[in-house]
Amino acid sequence: MSQEFSEALNDCLDRLVRGEDIHECLRRYPQQAGDLEPLLHVALATINAAEEVRPDPQARARNFARFSEAVQQRSAAPRRRMSWFSFRWLPVARPIAVGLASILVFVMGAGVATAASSESVPGEPLYWVKTTKESVEGRLPRSDDGRATYEANLAEVRGREISKLMERGQFTRADVTMRRMNDHLVRCARYAGVTVAANPVEMPARPPAMIGQTRAKHLVQGLEQDREVFRSKVRHILSRLSPQDRRRAEQVFRKTELRYWMLIHAMKAESPDSRPYLVFPVVHRGPGR
C-alpha cells in the first residue's frame, strides 16, 4: 500500500465517519477511486449497521436513574481532600516512600549494629562492623594532629579488647589484637612526628616536630592515662589467672607496655640526646623465658 493511497483511505474513512457521502470522498481521489471504493463500501456498511443499533429508551432511562442516584450519593459524601497520600501522588509517592523507608531501615539497622558492636571483641559476630566503622572513620580527612589522636584512641580500644580477651583466656586472640594495638601506636607516633622503632640503630626516635608542643603534651597525657587504665585492668586480671595463663598474659601485656613506653618517652624527649632506647630487655623476654 503506497503512502499516498494510505493517506487517501484514511481521509475518506474519516469523512465517512463524519457522515460525508461516499461519492464525495471518491471524487477527491479520482486516481485511487477504483481501489478505494470497495474498501469504503465495507466501512460504510459497518457504519450503517452500527447506526441501526440504538439503545432501548426504557433501559436508557433506567440506567440514567441509577447513574443519577450514584451521582447524588457521590455529591452527598464528604469529598476527600487531595493529600500527599492520595492516589494522585501514589505513582510518584509510593516508590519514594518505599525508597526512603528502605534507607531508614538500613540506617537504623546500621546504627543498631554499630552501637551493638562497639563493645565487641575479635571472634564475635559483630566485630567486623566495629572494624569497618573504624576503617571508614579512618578515611575521613583529618589533620596529622587529629590522626594521631584518632590512632591513640584506637589503641585504647584495642587495649580494652585485649583485657577482655585475656579475661576470657583467649590469649592467642589477645596477642593478635596486641599487634594491632602496636600498629595504632606506631601510626599515632608517625602522625605526631615521632619515629618509634624497636631497633634504635636502624631508626632512632626523634622529637615531635610535626605537631605543636601543646598538642603533643595533650596527646602524651592521653596516652599515659590510657596506659594507666590498661595497666590497672590487666593487673587485676593477672591476679585472677592461673600461673600458666598468667605467664602468657604477661607476655602480651609487656609488649603493649613497651609500645606505650616508647611512644610516650619519644614524645617527651626534648633533644636527640634524651631519646629513649631502653626497650629491649623488657620487650622480647617474658618472665619464665
Partner 1 sequence: MEAKQANREIVDEIVRRAQAGDQSAFAELYERYYDQIFRYVSYKCGSRLEAEDLTGEVFLRMLESIDKFRFQGFPFTSWLYRIAHNIVVDNFRRKGRKPTVPLDKVLHFSSEKDGEMENQAQISWSMGEVVEAMSSLTDLQREVITLRFVAGLSIAETADAVGRKENAVKALQHAGIRKLRNLMTHPGPFAVVTPEPEL
Q: Which is nearer to partner 1, 79 or 240 (CB)?
A: 79
CB of 44 to partner 1, least distance (A): 9
| Integer Cα distance of 216 and 208 in angstroms | 7
CB of 102 to partner 1, least distance (A): 27
- Contacts (CB under 8 A) with partner 1, residues 79-98: 79, 87-88
The grid coordinates listed for 81 are 481532600
Q: Which is nearer to partner 1, 26 or 97 (CB)?
A: 26
Q: Which is nearer to partner 1, 81 or 240 (CB)?
A: 81
Tell me which residue of 255, 259, 260 sits closest to 283, measured CA to CA: 255
Tell me which residue of 27, 34, 36 sits closest to 8, measured CA to CA: 36
Looking at 3-11, 139-147, 235-243, 281-289, which segment touches partner 1 (CB under 8 A)?
Answer: 3-11
Pick from 4, 20, 31, 72 the residue near partner 1 by CB under 8 A.
Answer: 72
Tell me which residue of 276, 155, 151, 147 sits closest to 206, measured CA to CA: 276
Binding track, positions 149-188, relative to partner 1; x by CB under 8 A: ----------------------------------------
- Site size toward partner 1, by CB under 8 A: 47
Binding track, positions 39-68, relative to partner 1; x by CB under 8 A: x-xxx-xxxxxxxxxxxx--xx-xxx-xxx
| Integer Cα distance of 76 and 202 in angstroms | 93
> Which residues of the chain form contacts with partner 1 (CB under 8 A)?
1, 6, 9-10, 13-14, 17, 22-23, 26-27, 30, 33, 37-39, 41-43, 45-56, 59-60, 62-64, 66-68, 70-72, 74-75, 79, 87-88
